[in-house]
A = this chain, B = another copy of it.
Amino acid sequence: MSPFHAASIGAAKARRQRLSTLLGDTPALIPAGAPCSRNFPSNVYSFRASSHFLYLIGHALPGAYALLEGERTRLFVQPPAEDDALWHGAVPSFAELAAQLDCELVALDQLPAALAKLDASSLLAPDHATQARQRELLGRAPDASTSERDARLAEAILSLRLVHDAAAIDELRLAGEGTVAAHIAGMHVTRPGIGEAAICAAMEMELRRRDMGTSYESIVTVHGEVLHNVSHAGVARAGDILLADVGAETPRGWAGDVTRCWPVSGTFEGGQRDAYQVVLNAQAAALAIAKPGTRYRDVHLAAARATTQGLLDLGVLTGDVDELVADGVHALLFPHGVGHLLGLDVHDMEDLGDRAGYAEGRARSEQFGLSYLRLDRDLEPGMAVTIEPGLYVVPAILEDETLRRVEAGRLNRAALDALNVRGIRIEDDILITETGHQVLTAGAPKSVAEVEATVGG
């Protein structure tokens, strides 16, 4: 059992009260989810509770279900087994748990009876076993999709989680601090010949010693052009740029998400330095407009335009900036979106689909590149988002017949090759404030000079 964290538990209670004003008397069943087996039943992945549960209860309780009805919250929990105290230590009694979590505690076997009288709404747990049990408990078919009631619950929770409260912001700051420390540690240990795994280990150690985990599988690679490359089997050599996309997860489950790139030798070679500066300028252009009222797609497009202008200046692209961006030519080298919501999930509330990232009436573009943008809402104070432009030389894109037609002679391959880069991304976490934004991860070295001064030292 993880330690009780009074601030998170108190914040959770306030969130439940806010939720009840949105839902009225509609009951809501929020499962914590259950540990998943790695290879045999008692050997499980380190348990991570559902984000909705963490948000509304403030504490991870494997296998528990929260049943919310107006201002009443009942937590249905499996009572301790006889030998739990031997294997897991002194387990809090129901009375102690109830006092700590400020909820009613009920034995799990009472849940079917409690639900029988209700037509509860629910959000699916992350794990398949709990999902199956959940459908059974709610009297739904095994393949039932979510109901309209569920959709209303999702909208209500979403509206709360979109705008972070003070306790959430404290956790995001903490995640940011751990994440920054990890990146500095990674830069410090880097020298030619070191394994990607050793750099990753040094970074994750900074998190583990803070009793934090990672909010997603760490990407630490000299092949940054493979966007979700979670292999660490390679070796970093002089001339390579190392890309590290590593984020902390606080003990309460809140996420950091930062990417930095640094030269393994400690010095960017000429073309690499130019390419790095293009991405840095693109991030600056995006940050410049990241404030309340800005549509997030415009943040993306600002990064796209700056990237395009940078590549024009380097002779990698030819043509008109606006035309190149409108045609999506930049997306051949910057294929992903400029960022996403951040909160308890690294892609916050992605379990709810594009309903989370896209404002009502907005939908994903079908254009290559823009189609991968995970977020298109107007920014509001209290939202946390990432800003992460990048520049990649991806053979699968550049050799694709359809995509080559987009290019239409406006990409100079020789100039691109001369940059001598495979993949660069620069990513920070920001919190939208009343007047603009705060960078939650500002401590991670970022300018060419800062990065070069940190690598190997």
Interface residues, chain A, with chain B CB atoms under 8 Å away: 1-3, 36-46, 48, 50-51, 85-90, 126-129, 132, 142, 195, 197-198, 200-202, 204-211, 215-217, 223, 225-233, 251, 253, 335, 344-347, 349-351, 394-397
Query: In the complex the two chains form, is B397's CB within 8 Å of A86's CB?
Result: yes
Query: Chain A interface secondary structure, helix, strand, loop or mixed?
Result: loop
**Bound state CA distance, A230 and B89, in angstroms?**
10
Also in contact, A39 and B43, with CB within 8 A (given A86-B397, A395-B90): no
Tell me the smallest distance from the CB of A396 to a CB of chain B, in Å. Answer: 3
Query: In the complex the two chains form, is B39's CB within 8 Å of A45's CB?
Result: no
Query: In the complex the two chains form, is B350's CB within 8 Å of A40's CB?
Result: yes
Tell me the smallest distance from the CB of A89 to a CB of chain B, in Å. Answer: 4
Tell me the smallest distance from the CB of A372 to a CB of chain B, in Å. Answer: 9
Query: In the complex the two chains form, is A350's CB within 8 Å of B209's CB?
Result: no
Residues of B contacting A395 in the complex (Cβ-Cβ under 8 angstroms): 85, 90
Also in contact, A351 and B204, with CB within 8 A (given A86-B335, A90-B396, A211-B197): no
Q: Which residue of B lies closest to A335 (CB)?
A: B86
**Bound state CA distance, A349 and B104, in angstroms?**
40
Query: In the complex the two chains form, is A39's CB within 8 Å of B48's CB?
Result: yes
Query: In the complex the two chains form, is B89's CB within 8 Å of A223's CB?
Result: yes
Q: Which residue of B lies closest to A232 (CB)?
A: B211
**Bound state CA distance, A40 and B347, in angstroms?**
8
Query: In the complex the two chains form, is A233's CB within 8 Å of B205's CB?
Result: no
Taking A3-B231, A39-B344, A211-B232 as given, write out 16 further A-B residue pairs in contact, using a Cβ cutoff of 8 Å, ordered by the A residue number: A39-B50, A39-B345, A40-B126, A46-B217, A85-B395, A85-B396, A86-B396, A87-B228, A127-B128, A128-B128, A195-B211, A200-B208, A201-B204, A201-B209, A204-B205, A233-B251
Q: Which residue of B lies closest to A251 (CB)?
A: B233
**Bound state CA distance, A223 and B88, in angstroms?**
11
**Bound state CA distance, A455 and B209, in angstroms?**
18
A-B pairs with lowest CB-CB distance, top 3: A85-B396, A201-B208, A89-B226
Query: In the complex the two chains form, is B201's CB within 8 Å of A43's CB?
Result: no
Which residue, of A37, A41, A215, has the highest number of chain B Cβ atoms within 10 A?
A: A37
Chosen A-B contacts, 17 in total, with CB atoms closer than 8 Å, are A3-B233, A37-B127, A38-B45, A40-B126, A43-B215, A43-B350, A45-B45, A86-B227, A86-B394, A87-B226, A88-B227, A88-B228, A89-B225, A128-B132, A132-B132, A200-B209, A201-B206
Query: In the complex the two chains form, is B195's CB within 8 Å of A89's CB?
Result: no
Residues of B contacting A127 in the complex (Cβ-Cβ under 8 angstroms): 36-37, 128
**Bound state CA distance, A39 and B227, in angstroms?**
20
Residues of B contacting A42 in the complex (Cβ-Cβ under 8 angstroms): 347, 350
Query: In the complex the two chains form, is A231's CB within 8 Å of B40's CB?
Result: no
**Bound state CA distance, A436 and B126, in angstroms?**
48
Residues of B contacting A40 in the complex (Cβ-Cβ under 8 angstroms): 51, 126, 345, 347, 349-351
Residues of B contacting A45 in the complex (Cβ-Cβ under 8 angstroms): 36, 38, 45
Query: In the complex the two chains form, is A204's CB within 8 Å of B197's CB?
Result: no
Q: Which residue of B lies closest to A130 (CB)?
A: B128
Q: Which residue of B lies closest to A201 (CB)?
A: B208
Query: In the complex the two chains form, is B201's CB within 8 Å of A205's CB?
Result: yes
Query: In the complex the two chains form, is B347's CB within 8 Å of A227's CB?
Result: no
Residues of B contacting A48 in the complex (Cβ-Cβ under 8 angstroms): 38-39
Query: In the complex the two chains form, is B86's CB within 8 Å of A43's CB?
Result: no
Query: In the complex the two chains form, is B229's CB within 8 Å of A211's CB?
Result: no
Which residue, of A87, A200, A350, has the highest number of chain B Cβ atoms within 10 A?
A: A87
Residues of B contacting A50 in the complex (Cβ-Cβ under 8 angstroms): 39
Residues of B contacting A227 in the complex (Cβ-Cβ under 8 angstroms): 86-88
Query: In the complex the two chains form, is A51's CB within 8 Å of B39's CB?
Result: yes
**Bound state CA distance, A217 and B1, in angstroms?**
14
Query: In the complex the two chains form, is A351's CB within 8 Å of B129's CB?
Result: no
Q: Which residue of B lies closest to A202 (CB)?
A: B205
Query: In the complex the two chains form, is A88's CB within 8 Å of B229's CB?
Result: yes
Tell me the smallest distance from the CB of A420 to a CB of chain B, in Å. Answer: 19
**Bound state CA distance, A50 and B44, in angstroms?**
13
Tell me the smallest distance from the CB of A226 to a CB of chain B, in Å. Answer: 4
Tell me the smallest distance from the CB of A250 to a CB of chain B, in Å. Answer: 13
Q: Which residue of B lies closest to A129 (CB)?
A: B128
Q: Which residue of B lies closest to A230 (CB)?
A: B46
Residues of B contacting A41 in the complex (Cβ-Cβ under 8 angstroms): 350-351
**Bound state CA distance, A204 and B198, in angstroms?**
11
